[in-house]
Amino acid sequence: MPTPDLDLTVAADLISRAQSIIDTATDELATRGGVDANQAFAYDLAHAASAVATARFNLDYAARGTTEANLTAAFLADALANIASRILGRETLWGLTNDWYSPFASFVETYRDPKFLASLAETPGERHLDEQFQMVADTFHRFADNVVRPHAEHVHRTNGDVPEDVIQGLADLGGFGLSVPEEYGGFADGSESDYLGMVVATEELSWGGLGIGGSLITRPEILTRALVSGGTEEQKQSWLPRVATAEVLGAVAVTEPDYGSDVAGLTTAATKTAGGWLINGTKTWCTFGARANVLLLLARTDPDRSKTHRGLSLFLVEKPIGDGHGFLFTQDASSEGRSDANGRLEGRPIDTLGYRGMHSYELSFDNWFVPDSHLIGGEAGLGKGFYYQMAGFENGRIQTAARAVGLMQAAYEAALTYAQNRVVFGEPIVNYELTKVKLGLMAAIIQSTRQYSLGVAKLMAKGEGTLEASMAKAYVCRAAEWVTREALQIHGGMGYAEEYPVSRYFVDARVLSIFEGADETLCLKVIARRMLELRQK
């Protein structure tokens, strides 16, 4: 019996009902003492809310055609089933009665039917980008296919560096200037195209390779937005044109060994000296720290620790280009006319199971001198570094969501191709229902999270969408783990044996829920807290 066409009115009503459940649970969370007293509940609630928001943003997409409607229906049914699994046995905690699921039962049964999901296996759907952004997608896709992919596997297997021809090629495309305002030599004109272009380009580059493609333009994005937010006009004129051409390649030095997401507790100190500042302390997880020739570094300029984030300032710290497998640099204070002790900067690489090429480092600063001109915002920027840094990170979460979408797309395509060609028991495994169901759900998740990411980018262009960007990051990064796992599973032993790129996709996906805000911290400290604030207004 054929599956009935999606009734958009019914879908919208179910999403509204699901949102009511989220609202009820949020109120219940408040009465039970808030996030810190109910972390498991708050975490589940944040993910459930993210799923509902993703489904809501896809209603317009569903109206574009049958395939679009089917993908949206499959996503919504799966999201509702996932929410149900979080609530089951905890109905009282969520403030619900035992019959809460009744309005959703028929829809979920219809659109989670294995035969329906199997029918979507080879129908990933159109993106429906307008002509301008389709051109962006095509341009960066060609670059990813012709330049990034030929290097991606070798860099991963050898733990190598990002090849210079990838960096230069991306610079020639203007990839490093996507967020740099036009008046400083970039392509940003202040419209929604700034955000949409970044999301579209990031997805395509991540399809080519997460470590040496999709993440390569993240650092200049953060550096640019921090400078635009807080930099003096002189600093913008000096730095932004060089960022746009990749003359300056940046890395971000915020995290410390004892302070990850808890930025307010940072201890790396910047102490005033004649003509500048001396940096002392340790930073960790500084991605791209060797190849970069400038670090965006957050340091404590006020020794009063009780001022927490209000005692932090942001610096542009110049350094030589280092060896990808460790480096040590020194500054000769006397030759620079200073009476301070000589400066020292050491970088120790941190080996990781995936996300290779960029390399992450632990950086040790010992009296490393930074001139006054490199304090972002100048004297007026003292104590405002946290806010400038957050402005730099503003787009990081939606960009990470785009990276996850690109990675999932690569995994889905690899799994589909392998399933079409791998013959088991006399026929291609793509003909088996279980394989089709996996591929169909992959297609629904990828397209739905893509459309959500594009929708959130439009909100952010209006100065909105901060909560939605966090939700997109939380949901899609967890989804990427499932998609890449199942893509590897479809490859069987060949996936586990590293014979195909799918094993790289699998280990690369694991980092997505950790960087740009660890999943737990993001859900508890950002999403759930903001949901409570909005309900209490």
**Regarding beta strands 294-300 and 250-253, do their DSSP bridges make them parallel or antiparallel, or are they unpaired?**
parallel
* Contact residues for 321 (Cβ-Cβ < 8 A; gap 6+): 290, 291, 292, 293
* CA dist., res. 179 & res. 168, Å (int): 18
Tokens of 417: 């191709």
> Torsion angle of alpha carbons 365, 368, 370, 371, nearest 10°?
170
CB neighbourhood size of 466 (10 A): 17
Owner of token pair 């791209």: 288
Tokens of 265: 């507790």
CB neighbourhood size of 96 (10 A): 16
Q: How far is CA 352 from the centre of its chain?
A: 18
Tokens of 348: 């120790």
The DSSP annotation for 335-392 comes to GGT--SPPEEEEEEEE--SS--SS-EEEEEEEEEEEEGGGBTTGGGGTT-HHHHHHHH
- Active site residues per annotation: 516
CB 22 within 8 A of CB 45: yes
Burial class (CB in 10 A: 0-12, 13-18, 19+), 335: exposed
Closest CA to 438 of 384, 488, 502, 401: 488
Tokens of 32: 């039970």
DSSP 295: E
Closest CA to 527 of 38, 84, 35: 35
Owner of token pair 């003509």: 275
